[in-house]
Chains A and B, each alone.
Chain A
Amino acid sequence: MTQYDTPGRSVTAPGTAPPESGPEPPDPGPEQAAADQAPPLGLHTEPSDKDLLAARLVPARHPGQWLSAGVVLVLFAMLVHTVVANHRFQWPVVGDYFLRGSIMHGLELTLWLTAAVMATGYLLGIGIAAMRLSGNPVLRGLSFGYVWLIRSVPPLVQLLFWYELASLYPRLSVGIPFGPEFADFRTAHLFSGILAAYVGLSLDVAAFAGEIVRGGILAVDPGQREAARALGLGEGRIFRRIVLPQAMPAIVPASGNLLIGMLKATSIVSVIAVQDLLYSTQLIYNQNFLIMPLLMVATLWYIVLTTLLSIGQFYVERYYARGRDRQGRPPARGLWQVARANIPLFGRVAGPGPVGL
């Protein structure tokens, strides 16, 4: 350990006697490996090519990284300690409520609302991207205007708008303008809280999904479309089979972000009394005032779901990476290797020679 932290011996350090540098046995023990790492070269001996070839490569050391990692680790331990040891978090209560029926129902609603909103939003979003990229100026203008409007209005306001739509149009009718009516509805029934949430959030997702998809499509080499046209492929098939698959590597990471964001953003439906995960916990703590533990229940569930989604995103990204490197295969590295490579404490263990710790 200590041997690794000492800086390498300077070749020109004065007073260093040139030690014997005979042909070395190529099998030093682990202890000796460190001592041999800088081949001892004296002041007046030119290193021969043979010495250089036999020399051991020493990776650069990063003592600062280890030091800062240590500091972060200590701070993190302190944080965990305050959270776990603080009895006001009431962890037993968290455990009691974690799998409660009403929480489970809220969780279920959060999940399917997120799924429905994302599915609808992406269907609309692909359409918006296609309009925006089309040659038709009316469609281009429409989709631009849509994206501009939706992005300008906070989602909470959109949600309230759809929920309160009844106050604007107490009756909605289907028919020819100024002509006969075929059917009419009372809007108070049309937009229940859950429907308002579904419509509002879907329209919101559509705008962002449209931009993500458009960006992905623009990233595809126009030569691909050209080659497909020259082969006689139809426009729809070109989009599905040639353009979209190549746009996916650009679309997936941003969409993963949007999905995870939307999973949590569905919690704003609590303002219109839709019983999602968060609102179910609120209903309970409004009764028993165990606010913190119940918020922890919701938080832990959001963390679990987000983690699962991140793992899913990893595999989807790997799937769409096929054909991108010269091996042609998706990287053989699994989730664990990638996680290890990205968690600084495990470090980059690659490179010759042993690594301390």
Chain B
Amino acid sequence: MAGGERPLVRVRGLRKSFGGNVVLDGVDLDVREGEVTVLLGPSGSGKSTLLRCVNHLETPDAGFVEIGGDIVGYHQNGARLHALRSRAVTRQRAQVGMVFQQFNLFPHMTLLENITEAPVAVRRLPRKQAAARARELLERVGLGSREDSYPRQLSGGQQQRVAIARALAMEPRLLLFDEPTSALDPELVGEVLAVIQDLALGGMTMIVVTHEIGFARKVADTVVFLDGGRIIESGPPADVLTDPRHERARSFLAAVL
């Protein structure tokens, strides 16, 4: 990891509250190109909100997220940040893929339609080309023969793999995972983590929220520990996971391990 290079993702001073409830309380985070960052923390610590701010599904109250040199959701003009129109936000979002805990596949579309919808609508790929690419991706996540199935005909693990293929079809620069295996039966967790690990080996930049400590140890370049809307620990997994300095991190790890 070249130290001098500008990180792909830079989060600075991010704050967000809902009503009086402060959910993110000044978060700074860097993610370098090709790195995997695993986000740990107790429920309600603001992990999902942080991911949603990165994708501008949530608008921060203060601070900013920068991806590839562009401020997410804003256009910089001298000393001012102008909020972007929804079309421009849409274009930014297309560079960032997101995978959800509940998969959120479109139930009324076949797997192929699920995957080709955005490339055809947003990237203006010809339908044929999008379909060919979708078949490749289904093959890659181990569902090559199921393109005409509907999501409800699949197991949770299979659905999540399709959701990953759907995100990859947009050729994103960054992939966000929000507890991708938390809704799965234990025996299905492995197949989804294997796909994510494969992406990591392929050099995909990712931020992964998960409680799978074994996965974090194996795949993460950086582990970030969030508590009460602040980052309390951050570093290589060998340090953060084996010998956390912070008491809260220690008790959390003891609880999930």
Contacts and interface: CB of A to CB of B under 8 A. Distances in A.
Nearest to B98: A230
A327 B153 contact: yes
B90 A234 contact: yes
A229 B57 CA distance: 8
Nearest to A234: B90
A231 B118 contact: yes
B75 interface: no
B104 to A, nearest CB: 4
Contacts of A235: 86
A234 B104 contact: no
A77 to B, nearest CB: 46
B152 interface: yes
* Max chain B C-beta neighbours (<10 A), residue from A229, A237, A242, A245: A229
B170 interface: yes
Interface in A238-253: 241-242, 245-246
B117 A234 contact: no
B94 A231 contact: yes
Interface residues of A, number: 26
Contact of B86 (A234, A245, A324): A234
A138 interface: no
B161 to A, nearest CB: 15
Interface string B105-123: 1111110000001100110
Nearest to A322: B108
A226 B57 CA distance: 8
A328 B149 contact: yes
B90 A325 contact: no
B74 interface: no
B118 A232 contact: yes
Nearest to A224: B104
Closest 6 CB pairs of A and B: A232-B94, A227-B104, A328-B150, A230-B98, A231-B118, A323-B150
Interface of B: 55, 57, 86-87, 90-91, 93-94, 96-98, 100, 102, 104-110, 117-118, 121-122, 149-153, 163, 166-167, 170
7 contacts: A227-B98, A227-B163, A229-B57, A230-B100, A232-B122, A234-B121, A246-B108
Interface of A: 221, 223-224, 226-235, 237, 241-242, 245-246, 320, 322-328
